[in-house]
Structure 1
Amino acid sequence: MSDGTRALETDPSVCYRHPGRQSWVLCQRCGRTVCPECQIQAPVGVHCPECVAETSGGVAWRPAHDVTPLAKPKRRRQPGRVRSMLAGASSSGTAVASQTILVAYAALFLVGLVTNNLPAQWLGGLPGTAWQLWRFVTAPLTYPAGLDISILFAALSGVFWWLTAPQLERMLGMRRFLGVVAVASIIGTAGMLLSGGAAFGLTAPLFGLFAALLVEVWGDPRARTQILVITAINLLFALTGGGLPALVGGIIGGAGTVYLLQSGPSRGWKPRTPVLIIAGVCALLVVLAVLRGGLPVL
């Protein structure tokens, strides 16, 4: 093993196989940090791919305390580290997806100021337009623009996204991050349309990410407490702007997506089974929202 690889493995803030991804989960056998993609459910806890390979092929399973660690176990992240990371502390890796979403959100808001809110009219989740299926994904990118209090609410959503989403993308990985954002957006938008309201803004995907992260760190009491506190603070700001169905839908979408993806292997499911379940739930809610709003008259 090279010196560079050993240096990465001693950093408790990143996955030992993917140094650009944050994680709090440790392999129960060797003590190395593993990201969601590298986590494999074992008879006792989560293990890394190398430990699973070493104990497979007829090798008898031994408890973790009987196995000589491959690397020195790392101390769990202190609460201050968790808080600083979620507040925008620097970390390795890029966050292209979250930054692109924020740029698109800001650009569409500015365009709305000078076009009488055309982006919100064509992309937002408006009652009676649920049959235009793209709105379930694009609604979070829009916000009714005006020279009034809407600027403050739009800016707060953007700031919270900027402070949290890039770090969550680095931890979850781009593919899982985009999956959580998409599912939370669809369910949140469907929830608003089913309640008879309009869906705008980053509330659904933002709280979907918070919920996904909470599932990831649930086994660490200190990290869990920090995420709950940060979520509660954001919840107070979000409720002042309304949109409770979008908020609840985002939480359900984010938590449900990560939970199903994590628990699938331990249940003996095929890799596509959690994806099919998630897609089925989203499709059902979209159909209900379309029926609730009425089909277009041809």
Structure 2
Amino acid sequence: MTDGTRAIETDPSVCYRHPGRQSWVLCQRCGRTVCPECQILAPVGVHCPDCVAETSGGVSWRPANNVVPLEKPKRRRTRQPGRVRSMLAGAGGSGGSPVSQGVLVVYAALFLVGLLTQNLPFQWLAGARGYGWQVWRFVTAPVSYYATPDLSILFALLSGVFFWLTAPQLERMLGTHRFIGVLLASSIVGTAGTMLSGTTAYGLTSLLFGLFAALLVEVWGDPRLRSQILIITGINLLLSLTMGGAGLPALVGGMIGGAGTMYLLRVGPDRGWKPRTPVLIVAGVCALLIVLSVVRFGILM
């Protein structure tokens, strides 16, 4: 293996055999990224050509320049269910999800500190009306929670569980950088939407529904999976509104941020955009919402 190949394999966004092609699919055996032309349907998930050759070698595969165009839709339909089902089935897990773990550790720690300090973290980190000029709140609001020794403990715990059932697998699927982008956009848009509505933003609602929306964009081409994600999102919507928290503005804002970011990351390479173009678009929208929030409710009266 050449040094160039090693460098390519460290980039989770491109196929290890075709560095000019972006893909979200990983080989279930070695974890390398494979484009649609290199994906081989195996009994469990998708394998790369090298792994098939190293194991049984019994699965037929043809190079990209010999693939019949009519076979592409069939391969696309068969690979996605296995990938997403394994993601949904593998709830939680710690391997390869440092950002998800970090968010939950900070969330739990701040909640415990809040119980012991009369909610000091909430006072400094939540997206409160009149404090929009403290721009860090647009990022820290999701990890803050109004902690009281009553049912809020149960609600905070359930939010953390739902996040843990979704975030780690999506982080492994997207890669760290793209996952962080989805989280930041969901947090900023959700917090800004809540503040613009005149209420306080806090809790994991915006992040959780931002991840649901990003996953929905990813599986939209498969009707069955799309229905499953919509049902899961609907159930969590009812639970979220019942449990309380930041409410509908954070939920809707988080979904807009997550879905919008995921969509731009997917269509950018197909349209020949530079890698930084989707980042600049998302950053511009987030900056605009922060400015609007500061102008409307950003100064403490």
TM range, smaller chain: 0.7 to 0.9
Q: How does 1:203-282 map to 2 (within 5 A)?
A: 203-240=205-242, 241-242=244-245, 243-282=247-286
1:184 to 180, 183, 186: 186
Task: Calculate the TM-score normalised by the size of structure 1.
Answer: 0.76
Counterpart position of 1:10: none
Q: How does 1:140-179 map to 2 (within 5 A)?
A: 140-179=142-181
Task: Calculate the TM-score normalised by the size of structure 2.
Answer: 0.75
After superposition, the C-alpha distances for 1:187-211 in whole angstroms (9 at most, x for unaligned) are 0000010000000000001110111
| CA contact 1:188–1:204 (8 Å) conserved in 2 | yes
1:286 to 259, 273, 290: 290
> Please, which runs of 5 or more residues in structure 1 have no aligned partner?
2-12, 36-49, 56-60
After superposition, the C-alpha distances for 1:151-196 in whole angstroms (9 at most, x for unaligned) are 1211110111122111111111111111100110000000010000
| CA contact 2:90–2:169 (8 Å) conserved in 1 | yes
Q: Distance in 2 between matches of 1:191 and 1:73?
A: 36
- Equivalenced residue count is 258
Cα distance 1:26–1:237, how it changes in 2: closer, same or farther (>3 A)? farther
Counterpart position of 1:45: none
Bigger shift: 216-225 or 97-106? 216-225
1:124 to 116, 119, 126: 126
| CA contact 2:92–2:164 (8 Å) conserved in 1 | no
1:106 to 94, 105, 108: 108
Letter in 2 for 1:250: G
Q: How far did residue 149 of structure 1 move?
A: 2.0
Q: Distance in 1 between matches of 2:151 and 2:71?
A: 62
Q: Distance in 2 between matches of 1:73 and 1:273?
A: 27
Q: How far did residue 20 of structure 1 move?
A: 4.1
| CA contact 1:185–1:205 (8 Å) conserved in 2 | yes
Counterpart position of 1:95: 97
Q: How far did residue 252 of structure 1 move?
A: 0.3
Q: How far did residue 222 of structure 1 move?
A: 2.1
1:15 to 8, 15, 26: 26
Letter in 2 for 1:293: F
Question: Kindly, what percent of the aligned residue pairs are identical?
Answer: 64
| CA contact 1:125–1:200 (8 Å) conserved in 2 | yes
Secondary structure of the corresponding residue to residue 132 of structure 2: coil
Cα distance 1:296–1:105, how it changes in 2: closer, same or farther (>3 A)? same
| CA contact 2:195–2:201 (8 Å) conserved in 1 | yes
Cα distance 1:78–1:284, how it changes in 2: closer, same or farther (>3 A)? closer
Secondary structure of the corresponding residue to residue 160 of structure 1: helix
Cα distance 1:112–1:230, how it changes in 2: closer, same or farther (>3 A)? same
| CA contact 1:184–1:208 (8 Å) conserved in 2 | yes
Q: Distance in 1 between matches of 2:30 and 2:122?
A: 39
Letter in 2 for 1:122: W
Counterpart position of 1:9: none
